[in-house]
Amino acid sequence: MLVVMPAYNAALTLERTFQDIPFDIVDEVLLVDDASHDETLEVAHKLGIRCFLHERNMGYGRNQKTCYTEALKLGADIVVMVHPDYQYSPKIIPALAGLVASGEYDAALGSRILGGKARQGGMPVYKYLANRFLTAFQNLLLGAKLSEYHTGFRAFSRQVLETLPLWENSDDFLFDNEMLSQTLFFGFRVGEASCPTRYFAEASSINFPRSVKYGLGVLATSVKFFFQKRTWGQFRIFSPSGRGLLDPSYYSERTPPLESPLPPQS
């Protein structure tokens, strides 16, 4: 089982996150640095994390595409995404991985809503209300009953990562929601576990204008799902012929990430 970390300016929180990872069940940690301006790579090297580097900032969604592609190349059977900003508790990794390893679920989410403590963890009111509205809208159009669609703490089986046309997704924050919508569209089973979260100064969070853009993208993704399920439209993100992570054409069209080797031991 492999943990991936999509990182951007995470130097202040990476070590705390890493120290909470349960290495009795985690085989390896892989970090993709999206051209950070701080010492994220230096901290990761100190911790012995396998690192990949984007030479320029390519976005949160593009970072995840690299995370999952490199995880598949390393032979991972279960991949858990953990944000290195210490907002989500890595101590819940066994619960998420266990849901997938059980064979009962193909993907698992760390839900901030289950347990009813999202606001106690510091989630801003406008984010909480938007989360509740968008989740209700998506449950209606997607025919699911998830507690939330917007958590960044997730686990996926290898089959899910090999099947979804993830290269068709956004390179920005909408990637998360498109990926979860695809997971449901292609018939995979999604489980949830309650996860406490922390909101503090060093934890990453998108600003209000980008939150609005994300929310509008969620609505559009849900409508696309609804239309394609009823054969009223065709969209690449829900097409079986869309490009997946193992598509050989990908790196012929885009600059691949650079593996950042650990510095030599003194």
pLDDT at 255: 57
The CA angle 211-217-218, to the nearest 5 degrees, is 90
Give residue 141's pLDDT band: very low, low, confident or very high (50, 70, 90). Answer: very high
Looking at the predicted structure, is the pLDDT value of residue 266 above 50? no
Q: How far apart are the first and last CA of the chain?
A: 30
Helix extents (H) in 168-249: 174-185, 208-229
Q: Say how far apart CA 155 and CA 93 lie, in whole Å.
A: 8
pLDDT at 62: 95
Which CATH code, of 3.90.550.10, 3.30.750.24, 3.40.50.700, 3.40.640.10, is assigned to 2-245?
3.90.550.10
Token readout for 80 is 């858990």
pLDDT tens digit sequence for 108-139: 999 988 876 667 666 778 888 999 999 999 99
Judge contact between 183 and 107, C-beta under 8 A.
Answer: yes
> Could you tell me whether strands 107-111 and 154-157 are parallel, antiparallel, or unpaired per DSSP bridges?
antiparallel
Inter-residue contact 165 to 243 (CB < 8 Å): yes
In this prediction, residues 162-171 reach a mean pLDDT of 96
In this predicted structure, what is the pLDDT of residue 250?
Answer: 60
Banded pLDDT at 260 (limits 50, 70, 90): confident
Average pLDDT, the chain: 91
Among the ranges given (20-24, 184-188, 206-210, 244-248), the one the predictor scored with the smallest mean pLDDT: 206-210
Tokens of 68: 């999952």
- The Cα 194–Cα 56 span in angstroms is 35
Give the number of C-alpha atoms closer than 13 A to the C-alpha of residue 173, restricted to the C-beta side: 19
- Per-residue pLDDT band for 201 (boundaries 50, 70, 90) equals low
Is the whole model's pTM more than 0.75, yes or no? Answer: yes
- Dihedral sign of CA atoms 158, 248, 70, 154 in order: negative
Burial 116-147 (b: 16+ CB within 10 A, else e): eebeebebeeebeebbeebbebbbebbeeebb
CA distance 240 to 71: 22
For 45-98, the pLDDT digits (tens) are 999 999 999 999 999 999 999 999 999 999 999 999 999 999 999 999 999 999
Q: How many CB atoms lie within 10 A of CB 104?
A: 11
The reported pLDDT for the residue numbered 205 is 61
Q: Cα–Cα distance between 61 and 51 in angstroms, integer?
A: 17
Q: Quick check: 21 pLDDT over 80?
A: yes
Domains of the chain: which residue ranges? Answer: 2-245
Q: What is the pLDDT of residue 249?
A: 66
Residue 180's nearest CA partner among 239, 221, 141, 215 is: 221
